[in-house]
Amino acid sequence: MIKMEKRTPVLALFFAGIISIVLIVIFEKPAKPFAMWQGLLLFFLCYLPGMGIALLFDSYAKKAKEEYLKINFYEEKK
């Protein structure tokens, strides 16, 4: 399980909603509207970058990056 702050998944839902609405406004053609399930699928997919935006404000994610940057994973084992 990925360690994160409790608010992060909730924030991700919020960002997913915003991204979905923006994309529908920009790309949906009046002659070819999204069906309900297609809209839900879009929302589900938008949850992924939404989680990314939420993780930008998450201290665990920042710490993880800092810790991994200290390690050279390509160093030969002796």
Partner 1 sequence: MQLGHVAVALAVSSYAPEITGGRIDAFSAEAIAVSFVAHWLPNFDVIPIRLGWARDAFHCTWSHSFLFAVLVALILLPINAGWALLGFVSLIIHFLADMPSSVGLPLLMPWKRRFTLNLWADTGHSGWFAFRSTYEQAWTWLLEGGAFVFLFIRAYQVGVWPFV
Residues that bind partner 1 (CB under 8 A): 2-3, 19, 23, 27, 32, 34, 38, 41-42, 45-53, 55-56, 58, 60-62, 64-66, 68-69, 71, 73-76
Q: What percent helix, strand, coil does the chain show, rounded to 5? A: 65, 5, 30
Distance (Å, whole) CA 19 – CA 50:
8
CB of 46 to partner 1, least distance (A): 6
* Cα 77–Cα 73–Cα 61 angle in degrees, nearest 5: 145
Distance (Å, whole) CA 61 – CA 54:
10
CB of 28 to partner 1, least distance (A): 8
CB of 14 to partner 1, least distance (A): 15
